[in-house]
Amino acid sequence: MSDFTEANREYFDKLATSYTGRFADASRMLASQTVQHRNWISERWTDTEAGKSKEIRMLEYACGPGVVSMSLAPFVTQIIGVDISDNMVAEFNRNASSLGLADKAIGYKADLLAENPAAQEIESACANLDMVTISMALHHFENPSTALKRLAERLNKSGVCYIIDLVAHTDAHGHAHEQHKDDFAEAAHTIKTHGFSSEDMQRFFEGAGLTGFKYEVLSEPLTFSTEERSFSKTVFVARAQRA
Ligand SMILES: C[S@@+](CC[C@H](N)C(=O)[O-])C[C@H]1O[C@@H](n2cnc3c(N)ncnc32)[C@H](O)[C@@H]1O
């Protein structure tokens, strides 16, 4: 694990038990926007003509407590959550269990972006996927472009990649600035990219061999409140699929 990834692991491992309470408003919004965008993301779900009676296996990478996974659980047949933080994986498995989803959703600790393969059980669980999702984590990856390539390789034909993340802030000259690092000051050392534009995402998806690109900036902001202040962020959803 690189020093940067290790810094993420350490930070989120400490935050894990308070994460759900601290980001409750943001998590509710991520879940509801995901469900509202379900047919925009994919046509294959357990209740649609294209997906009925089929296996629909989904990986949430950098899953944290699994907000997106749990919101999509009724519409897929199997969910694998993977995160580099043991404590986040424990939160994922605790949530799955308390929602009665322990048979359908299982979390593992692994770094699927590392050169070396993960343990055999995890590699098998994370192969032949119908969907890979990454929520609010792409900006924490050392190399988002390589990350999407590695994860897209795990998709079946027609499998979908669905991303939610921060929109890039640019100044009057079109240069990205570091507003996100200022707002999330204590997490600044875990952030690599200051959000993503539609062009960024299209480039990453095309580089990963995916087609059918869509990107939408959400009109509802993602809100964060601490004891000292509240602020909001503009986020996007994006999707593409293996041809
Ligand atoms: C801001 S949280 C998002 C959690 C969750 N996806 C959500 O939407 O609430 C970022 C998550 O990414 C994980 N993470 C950061 N870098 C990672 C990496 N290289 N591989 C896997 N997980 C990573 C962290 O441990 C943390 O759980």
* Spatial distance between the Cα atoms of 24 and 67, rounded to a whole number of angstroms: 10
**CB neighbours (10 Å) of residue 10?**
14
The average pLDDT across 58-71 equals 98
pLDDT for 177: 60
> Could you tell me the distance, in angstroms and rounded to a whole number, from the CA of residue 181 to the centre of ligand 1?
16
pLDDT for 179: 64
pLDDT for 130: 98
Q: Across the chain, where does the E strand assignment appear?
A: 57-61, 78-83, 105-109, 129-135, 155-166, 210-217, 222-225, 230-233, 235-242
> Could you tell me the distance, in angstroms and rounded to a whole number, from the CA of residue 55 to the centre of ligand 1?
26
The model's confidence at residue 230, banded by pLDDT at 50, 70 and 90, is: confident
Q: Which CATH class is domain 3-242?
A: alpha beta
What's the mean per-residue pLDDT of the chain?
A: 93
Q: Which residues line ligand 1 (CB under 6 A)?
A: 5, 8, 12, 27, 30, 62-64, 67, 83-85, 88, 111, 113, 135-137, 140-141
pLDDT for 173: 67
> Could you tell me the distance, in angstroms and rounded to a whole number, from the CA of residue 56 to the centre of ligand 1?
23
pLDDT in tens, 81-105: 999 999 999 999 999 999 999 999 9
The average pLDDT across 181-199 equals 85
Break the chain into its structural domains and give their ranges.
3-242
